[in-house]
Amino acid sequence: MIDKRRQTADEAVADIKDGSTVLIGGFGMTGEPRELCSALAARKVRGLTIVTNNAGSGEFGIGLLMKQGCVDKIVCSFPRVPGSVVFEELYEAGKLELEMVPQGTIAERVRAGAAGVPAFFTRTSWGTPLAEGKEVRTFDGKEYVMERAIRGDVALVKAYKGDRWGNLVYAKSMRNFNPVMAMGADLTIAQVSEIVELGELDPEHVITPGIFVNRVVQLEALNA
Amino acid sequence: MTPLNRNQMAWRVAHDIPDGSYVNLGVGMPLAVVNFMPDDRDIVFHSENGLLGMRDLKPGEEPDSELVNAGKRPVRMLPGGAFFHHADSFLMIRGGHLDFAVLGAYEVAENGDLANWRLLDSKSAPAVGGAMDLVYGAKKVLVICEHNSKDGSPKIVKEAKLPLTGRECVSKIFTDHAVIERTGDGMVVREMIEGLTFDELQDRTGAKLRLANDWKPLITPDLPVEERPSRKKQVGEI
């Protein structure tokens, strides 16, 4: 029997190892798997590389992971937002490595990793400082920059509802990076507001099929 | 001669976008464009974080923390709107499916190079977001910015000095003084505010300009900018 349900966030993240590459869904605070990040921070793992769009707000979730010294490197497109005080302090002190990646290139690098595509060419960042040191090739008279895929050891995502097979649906704009990150790691852990019986999620409406998801934990009601 | 205010600039951009367009508005000044769309046009606004067909909150509407735009500000969906994930959202951008991106600028060069993501003297971490995707992905990139910086230096320059967002990507520039189109034959002034001469406009501009034979005065309605007390941004809001 397939049963991906876990009782607590702590149990769901208990075996994540030092040095892991962790993909984290969310866009700002919307769709951030905050409780999973906080549970991981409480374990004081070390040497993580995290891949996520923003660098956390406040001292919870992604912010807490950084505050607890779990993160060596962050791959993101927009680290500076009001409230990203932990990031700014660590970055300015030289204690956090930052890889700045255009937002669409993060999404596509993770999608490529999920699809077994090791690298791809994109027009994005051509002729800018973010293309420096990267291979450029010309296709049909236009220059494109080579980007390598990203594959996560772990993905932490947030969804609205899930079932014991790991199927997920989202609510409104909390979807954002979550389905992309969910596809891109060897171990994907989803926190959901509600675990429902098999069959309650209409197959026509499933956004993340359970094949991508290893663990599901019910944490809080939406907007609670 | 009175330069346009921010609302008037946004109004002018809005009136350049034809019925049926799919449009992404950058954070900052471009966001105001949504407020001045003519009612008789169906314009579908795209947001990087996976929305098509959104609108601003109406007065009195409660914000929903699960429904925000790329600037992390609360929005609502229009009938006909759709949600999708980030990879599909940037497929729309990068695959040439969007008609227009409206972006702010620090500098636009004579050849259409755009710099709008990083200042040279900035000690804090860089932040690029989706700008580099939009500049090459959207069919047309419209820039809305003041003609000159606060110190009077031109924003439309011969060559950009700041780190670029993209090369040769700007189609049209809407400033508080003029509407300027980048053509195969250089920067062409399509509209200028009344009371301004072409020589005066050229003096305020680093790039070489040419006045279109059929240029028009740049006229907009009075759209006073509401003086609002400055508000501290909320955590999580850009």
| Contact state of A102 with B136 under an 8 Å Cβ cutoff | no
| Contact state of A88 with B125 under an 8 Å Cβ cutoff | yes
- The Cα–Cα gap between B194 and A35 comes to 58
What is the number of H-type helices and E-type strands within chain B?
A: 4, 13
User: Residue ranges of the domains in chain B?
Assistant: 6-57+66-217
Q: Please give the ipTM for the structure prediction.
A: 0.94
Choose among B43, B60, B44: nearest CA to B52: B44
Asked if the model's pLDDT at residue A223 lies above 50, the reply is: no
Q: Residue A76 carries which side chain, given as an amino acid letter?
A: C
Which of A78, A108, A125 lies closest to B90 in CB terms? A108
| Contact state of B130 with A103 under an 8 Å Cβ cutoff | yes
Q: What is the pLDDT of residue B226?
A: 81
Choose among B46, B233, B11: nearest CA to A80: B233
CB A216 within 8 A of CB A6: yes
Mutation target for B interface from A53, A76, A78: give the one with most B CBs within 10 A: A78
| Lookup result for tokens 């029997």 | A1
Asked if the model's pLDDT at residue A49 lies above 90, the reply is: yes
| Contact state of B235 with A170 under an 8 Å Cβ cutoff | no
| Contact state of B68 with A171 under an 8 Å Cβ cutoff | no
Which positions in chain A touch B124 (Cβ < 8 Å)? 80, 88, 91-92
CB A22 within 8 A of CB A152: yes
Which of A82, A127, A179 lies closest to B233 in CB terms? A82
Residue B46, SS3?
strand
Nearest chain A Cα to B133, which residue? A124
Average pLDDT rounded to a whole number, residues A25-52? 97
Element (H, E) at A137: strand A136-139
Which positions in chain A touch B237 (Cβ < 8 Å)? 28, 81-82
Alpha-carbon distance B43 to nearest alpha carbon in chain A (angstroms): 20
Alpha-carbon distance B55 to nearest alpha carbon in chain A (angstroms): 14
Instruction: Count other C-beta atoms under 10 Å from residue B12's C-beta.
Output: 21
Q: What is the pLDDT of residue B238?
A: 43
Instruction: Count other C-beta atoms under 10 Å from residue A2's C-beta.
Output: 10
Take residue B47 and report the two structure tokens written for it: 């947001």
Is the Cα dihedral A36, A40, A42, A48 positive or negative?
Answer: negative
Alpha-carbon distance A1 to nearest alpha carbon in chain B (angstroms): 30
Virtual CA dihedral for A126, A128, A131, A133, nearest 10 degrees? 130
Choose among B208, B174, B179: nearest CA to B192: B179
Which of B51, B83, B132 lies closest to A125 in CB terms? B132
Asked if the model's pLDDT at residue A224 lies above 70, the reply is: no
Q: What is the pLDDT of residue B228?
A: 60
Element (H, E) at A37: helix A34-42
| Contact state of A30 with B66 under an 8 Å Cβ cutoff | yes
Choose among B131, B140, B155, B152: nearest CA to B28: B131
Which of A78, A100, A180 lies closest to B86 in CB terms? A180
User: Residue ranges of the domains in chain A?
Assistant: 11-117+149-218
Share of chain A above pLDDT 90, in %: 95
- The Cα–Cα gap between A106 and A109 comes to 5
Local structure of residue A174 (DSSP, 8 states): G
| Contact state of B66 with A171 under an 8 Å Cβ cutoff | yes
| Lookup result for tokens 């790991």 | A166
Q: What is the pLDDT of residue A81?
A: 82
b/e sequence A96-117, b meaning 16+ C-beta within 10 Å: bebebbbbbbbbbbbbbbbeee
Virtual CA dihedral for B217, B220, B224, B228, nearest 10 degrees? -100
Average pLDDT rounded to a whole number, residues A37-46? 97
Instruction: Flag residues of chain B having pLDDT under 70.
Output: 227-238
Which of B50, B125, B133 lies closest to A80 in CB terms? B125
Residue A80's pLDDT band (boundaries 50, 70, 90)? Answer: confident
Q: Residue B57 carries which side chain, given as an amino acid letter?
A: L
The CATH code belonging to domain A11-117+149-218 is: 3.40.1080.10
Q: Which class is B6-57+66-217 in CATH?
A: alpha beta
Q: Which is the catalytic residue, given B48, B66, B227, B237?
A: B48
Alpha-carbon distance A39 to nearest alpha carbon in chain B (angstroms): 21
Choose among B106, B78, B98, B81: nearest CA to B173: B106
- The Cα–Cα gap between A89 and A56 comes to 12
**In this predicted model, what pLDDT tens digit does every residue of A193-212 receive, in sequence order?**
999 999 999 999 999 999 99
CB B216 within 8 A of CB B191: yes
| Contact state of B238 with A122 under an 8 Å Cβ cutoff | no
Q: How many CB pairs under 8 A join A and B?
A: 162
- The Cα–Cα gap between B54 and B78 comes to 5
Q: What is the pLDDT of residue A222?
A: 45
| Lookup result for tokens 């060069």 | B109
Q: Clarify whether B168 is annotated catalytic.
A: no
Choose among B46, B68, B90, B92: nearest CA to A111: B90
Q: What is the pLDDT of residue B26?
A: 92
